[in-house]
Amino acid sequence: MIRNAEVEAERPSIDGVVALDGPGLPLPAGPLDALGPTSWVRQSGRTWWAPHPGGGGPRSLKVKGVLSRGTRLRYEREAPPVYDPHPGFPPAEHLGVTADGEFTMVPRSIAPLDGLVEAAARRELRNAARLRDAGGAGPAPVGAWRYPDIAFRGERLGIVALELPVAHPHRADVLTRLPDPDLPPPARRHADGLVDLLGGRGPVELRRQRAISHVWTRFGTALSAFHGAGLYRYSGDPENVVYDEGSDTCVLVDLDSSLDLARLEPQARGVQMARDVMSAILNLAFSMLRIPVVAQFASSRQSADPFAAMLGAYYADTAVDARVLDPFLDYLGDVARRVTRWVDERGAHASPDHDIHRCIRGDLDLLYLGLARITVDLHRSSAAARAIAPVPSEQAIDRSIVETMGRRYLDRCRTFTSWDSLDHRGQGS
C-alpha cells in the first residue's frame, strides 16, 4: 500500500494544463496525453523523458517542468518551494557580462522546485525552433503548456516538450562519470557502448578519453552553430548535451535560459560568446573533478584532449594552439590533487557535490576569470577573422576584472594567459 502511494506521489501530473501559443509555431494537440503515465521516466530534477509514441526511427520526448503529484501537493499546501542546488551554502554567483561588455558576478536566478516558469518554457521552445531553422543540431520543438492554477512569485508555471533524435535518455555526462562505481547500470551500458564505438583500441581509460574528445569535438561544432543561430548563454554542462550516434552530432538540450544575441549591445556580443566557451570548458572540468572520478583527473594528463578538441572545433577558422589551456589545466591538476587528498582524508564522509563545492569554492572566481580571459583572447583573434562581433580590447577586459574582483585577481588571472602572450610579455617587460 505504502509503495503504491509513493508511486502515485511521483507520477507526473499534467491535469488541466493549457497549450500556449508559440510565436507562429504549430503546437500539436495533446502529445502529452498520448503518453500513458507509466511510460514516463524521471530523467533528472525537473525533466521527464519518454520514448516517442509512433515510428520513424529512434526518437524520444524530453518534457521539462512537469510536477510530480507529490511536488504539486507541496505547491498547494505551502508557499511554492524553491530549488536549491547547494543546500547549506549562500546563494551561488556566476560570471556574467554587463551591457557594456564587462565582467561582473551575478547571483544565480531563483527557480521553482521541479518547475519552470511560463516564460522559460516559451523560451526553450522558441530557441529550439531557432536553432533548427538555422541548421544547428537542436531538439525539435513540440509544444509548451501552462498550468492555469500554479504560480511561482507571480508567474504561472509552464511545461515544454521537445523531441530528440535518440531513443535513450542518456546525456554526455555518462562518459565523464563512467569511472564512478555508483553510475546506474543502464547509463554504464550506454557509456560503455560509446567508448567501444568512439574510443579505438588501447587501455580503457585512454579509450574513454578518446570517446570524450570525440564527443566534445562535436559539442564545439554545436556550440558554434548555436552562436551562429544568434543565440547566447548556454550552460555547457555535460548533462545538457546529448550525443546522437546516428548523425554523429551533439544536440544541445537545455535551452530555457538562452537569449537573443541581437538584443545585446554590440560590444557585449563577443564577450558573451566567449563566456559560453569558458562555461563549456569549466563545466566539463568540474564534471571530471567530481568524487570519485576526480582521482582519474589528478593522475591523467590525457584529460587535456577533450578541452583542446572542443576549442579546435569551436574556433574551426582559427589555428588554436593546443597549449593555450596548459596554464589552466596545470592549475586544475593541482586542484584535483588537492581534492583527491582531501577526499582520502574524509573517506566515507565525503559527499560528492557538497564537498567538491566546498573544496573548490575559493578557486572558482579565479578559474572563471582566468579562463574567461583566455577565451576572450581566442575570440578576439577569431572574431577578427569571422567579423561576427567586436570583442573588447585586452585592456578593457583587464579593467573589468579589476573592477569585479580587485587588483590581486588580475595578477593571478594573468598567469592563465596563453604561453604565446606570456612569452611575448616576458620579452617586453
Ligand X SMILES: Nc1ncnc2c1ncn2[C@@H]1O[C@H](COP(=O)(O)OP(=O)(O)O)[C@@H](O)[C@H]1O
Pick the binder of ligand X from 5, 83, 263, 341 (CB under 6 A). 83
Of 419, 398, 217, whose CA–CA distance to 306 is shortest? 217
| Residue 240 interacts with ligand X (CB under 6 A): yes or no | yes
How many Cβ atoms are within 10 Å of 148's Cβ, its own excluded? 11
| Count of residues interacting with ligand X (CB under 6 A) | 15
| Residue 422 interacts with ligand X (CB under 6 A): yes or no | no
- Would you say 240 or 340 has its CB closer to ligand X? 240
The dihedral through the CA atoms of 300, 302, 304, 309 has a sign that is negative
**Rounded Cα gap, residues 251 and 253, in angstroms:** 6
- Would you say 123 or 380 has its CB closer to ligand X? 123
47 binds, among Mg ion, ligand X, none (CB under 5 to 8 A by kind): ligand X
28 binds, among ligand X, Mg ion, none (CB under 5 to 8 A by kind): none
| Residue 127 interacts with Mg ion (CB under 5 A): yes or no | no
CA distances from 419 to 163, 352, 364 (A): 43, 34, 22
**Rounded Cα gap, residues 416 and 176, in angstroms:** 24
| Residue 254 interacts with Mg ion (CB under 5 A): yes or no | yes
| Residue 89 interacts with ligand X (CB under 6 A): yes or no | no
Mask of contacts with ligand X, 282-321, x by CB under 6 A? Answer: ----------------------------------------
- Chain centre distance of CA 55: 30
Of 215, 421, 221, 415, whose CA–CA distance to 328 is shortest? 415
Least distance between Mg ion and beta carbon 88 (Å): 22
- Would you say 152 or 416 has its CB closer to ligand X? 152
Q: Do residues 221 and 138 touch, judged by C-beta distance below 8 A?
A: no
Pick the binder of ligand X from 28, 45, 186, 202 (CB under 6 A). 45
Q: Do residues 27 and 20 touch, judged by C-beta distance below 8 A?
A: yes
- Alpha helices in 144-299, H assignment, sequence order: 173-176, 185-198, 204-228, 266-288, 294-299
Amino acid at position 342, single letter? W
DSSP calls for 55-91: -SSS-EEEEESPPBHHHHHHHHHSSPPBP-SSTTSPP
Pick the binder of ligand X from 31, 52, 64, 417 (CB under 6 A). 64
Q: Which stretch binds ligand X (CB under 6 A): 21-29, 92-100, 106-114, 312-320?
A: 106-114
**Rounded Cα gap, residues 279 and 389, in angstroms:** 19
Residue 426's SS3 state is: helix
| Residue 84 interacts with ligand X (CB under 6 A): yes or no | no
- Tell me the residue number closest to Mg ion, measured at CB: 254
Mask of contacts with ligand X, 242-261, x by CB under 6 A? Answer: -----------xx-------
How many Cβ atoms are within 10 Å of 57's Cβ, its own excluded? 9
Pick the binder of ligand X from 47, 176, 224, 267 (CB under 6 A). 47
Mask of contacts with Mg ion, 320-359, x by CB under 5 A? Answer: ----------------------------------------
322 binds, among ligand X, Mg ion, none (CB under 5 to 8 A by kind): none
Q: Which residues bind ligand X (CB under 6 A)?
A: 44-47, 64, 83, 111-115, 239-240, 253-254
Q: Which residues bind Mg ion (CB under 5 A)?
A: 240, 254
